[in-house]
Structure 1
Amino acid sequence: MISFNYETDFELLNEDELSQWISDTIINEGFKEGEINYIFCDDAYLLDLNIEFLEHDTLTDIISFDYTLGKLIGGDVYISVERVKENAKDFAVTFENELCRVMIHGILHYCGYKDKSESDEAEMRSKENYYISKLP
């Protein structure tokens, strides 16, 4: 089950379509959908989590807590709407495109994809692009 939660005044307009897109991605990757919570927040909210749980005193666009068990995908995905807006400007893409990239990025991590090395990052970006092309 995918749920969308809001700790800021932002709200998705197409929750059902995005939920189906995420579910399709999970199935396509050979996993099953468990409980996945997206929490949309601001920079300050995410910075507090970053400091408290990861001991990183930096702004970020996403923090995900992975509760995947075997092939059952689950977790909490925190996304800073402020950071996504800034990144969209920096990368010269729409806010919607960047938001979807970040949303699917968290799911791909749960599916086992990494992004620490150059080759892993290239594979992650390729997968992100593939799934973004499948958006309704």
Structure 2
Amino acid sequence: MGDFVIDIARPCPDWPEVEALIAPAAHAALAELEAPHWGELSVVLSDDAHVQTLNRDYRAKDKPTNVLSFPMPSETGLMGDVVFALETITREAEAQGKMFADHFTHLLVHGVLHLQGLDHETDADAQDMEAREVCALARLSIDNPYRSDNR
């Protein structure tokens, strides 16, 4: 394994204690890749208002979303930033009948895979990314979030 530092920022004080979930989830995501880009990972536990601003400014979508990933070039020594919106994640977990911790962990795995260059723009890319997410979550004893009986 490469060098791995995690910086956690908590601009939204309402977040439950999720810090212990972060390193295992990030390691599980990186274990699904042949040659991961190691470096400092920044995790921002934020809220809908902040994420909506970022989503508007960087993706031209003026609405909150559950997670945003901002990859950094490998030569910087930084993996990138993963920013979470508490209210959106809470609503999704409740609507899908999932434990908050499991949903957050899934979104962290998803965000880290985005930092590694994976995306879900095509059906093939989406299937590959979902398969890696399912495998990473299985390493953490979390059920497949894409199975309809888990929602």
User: Aligned AA for 1:25?
Assistant: A
Q: Which of 7, 16, 22 is 1:18 aligned to? A: 22
**C-alpha contact 2:28 2:139 (8 A) present in aligned 1:** no
Q: CA deviation at 1:27?
A: 4.6
Q: What's the counterpart of residue 97 of structure 2?
A: 92
Which residue does the alignment assign to 1:124? 129
Out of 106, 109, 114, which is 1:101 matched to? 106
Structure 1 equivalent of residue 148 of structure 2: none
CA RMSD of aligned residues (A): 2.2
Aligned-pair identity in percent equals 21
Q: How high is the TM-score relative to the length of structure 1?
A: 0.85
Structure 2 CA distance for aligned equivalents of residues 124 and 44 of structure 1: 28
Q: Report how many aligned residue pairs link the two structures.
A: 135
Q: State the 4+ residue runs in structure 1 displaced beyond 6 angstroms.
A: none
Q: Verify the 8 A CA contact 2:68 2:82 in the aligned structure 1.
A: yes
Q: Distance in 2 between matches of 1:98 and 1:88?
A: 6
CA positional deviation for 1:39: 0.2
- Give unpaired runs (5+ residues) of structure 1: none
Cα distance in 1 for partners of 2:80, 2:57 equals 18
Contact 2:21–2:105 (Cα < 8 Å) also in 1: no
Contact 2:29 2:133 in 1 (8 A): no
Contact 1:2 1:35 in 2 (8 A): yes
